[in-house]
Chains A and B, each alone.
Chain A
Amino acid sequence: MAEQVYWDDVDVGDEIPTLRKNCSTQQLVVWAGASGDFYQIHYDEGFAKNTGLDGIIVHGALKNAFLGQLLHDWVAPAGRVRKFGCSYRGMDYPNQDITCRGVVTKKYIDGSNHLVDLEIWTENPSGQKTSPGSGTVTLPARG
């Protein structure tokens, strides 16, 4: 895990470290069990094609959880993810890169909390934002 990021050292416009994912169909099955979403379009190719899809697609909620990890890994160990979410805009497929990215849009103090807002999203191999969203985290402040 990377070194602690401090609120003082963050600027609006900063891009946070990228998290790259590439799901096997096995990972989608693990996610199905973990989330309770057993819809067959996420692991049964024949079923997915019968519904008109090109093939198995990655769960939108899994991509959202990837964005949760993107933020957690950035703020850990002392920071916390306060809020995060995304729209399920485009489909992603197993065995293709899903790149999770984030850019700082605001930094502010609320009481004793040092907060940062970010624009976050997942990108497919063509660079299209398939899950655009936003997040809020707390970070420790220096001294």
Chain B
Amino acid sequence: MAESVVTDAMKAQIGVEGPETVSEVTSTGCRLFARAVGHTDAIFYDREAARARGYRDIVAPPGFLGSAVFRPGERSDGGAHPQAGTPYRRILNGGTTYEYFEPVCAGDIVRSRSKVTEFQERQGSIGSMLITFRETSFVREDGTLVAKMYGSLISY
């Protein structure tokens, strides 16, 4: 195993939440997401169908937590690159897990913050790599934690 590429500055990032992102869960966003996936359940498209099943409004399909926010001139990935300061220049999305504590519905405004939870260094089929584990929390306007997203980024 080569020497660790995890710097003190990187270690200091662990557990520190980044800037807040505010995104809207709109009926249009839910419908488009559901259509892209190929969902057939009407609760993802129709307010009355959703209400008839006990939801407040059109339901955000699994994996949808608000439309991406684009601001001209800003990076769309929202933050510092974890591999900055390491020898790695390429990055892969290793995977994502969503955990829901409450249903997310159209009309919700969710505030999210991400933090690095762990760095792991491994030897893999693509050579040595750094895996950065991140966790993002999504909080509704009334303060309820509605979901968490766990992701890993592979730098190599």
Contact = CB atoms under 8 A, between A and B. Distances in A.
Interface residues of A, number: 33
Contacts of A72: 39, 41, 61-62
Interface stretch (B5-13, B94-102, B110-118): B94-102
A87 B94 contact: yes
B68 interface: yes
A87 B95 contact: yes
Contact of A65 (B53, B61, B99): B61
B33 A34 contact: yes
Contacts of B62: 65, 68-69, 71-72, 81, 84
A35 B53 CA distance: 26
Contact of A61 (B39, B40, B41, B96): B96
Question: Chain B: interface residue count, which band?
Answer: 20 to 34
B92 interface: yes
B48 to A, nearest CB: 14
Contacts of B53: 77
Interface string A63-99: 0111011011100110011111111100000000000
Contacts of B76: 36
Contact of B38 (A27, A60, A84): A27
A62 interface: yes
Nearest to B99: A83
Given A61-B63, A73-B41, A88-B95, A81 B35 contact: no
Nearest to B70: A36
Interface in A8-26: 21
B37 A69 contact: yes
A86 B98 CA distance: 9
A141 to B, nearest CB: 17
A13 to B, nearest CB: 23
Nearest to B92: A88
A53 interface: no
Contacts of A83: 97-100
Given A34-B33, A36-B76, A68 B98 contact: yes
Contacts of B95: 60, 64, 85-88, 131, 133
Contacts of A85: 95-98, 150
Nearest to B63: A65
A76 to B, nearest CB: 6
Q: Which of A62, A64, A86 gathers the greatest number of chain B CB atoms within 10 Å? A: A64
Interface of A: 1, 21, 27, 30-31, 33-36, 60-62, 64-66, 68-69, 71-73, 76-77, 80-88, 131, 133
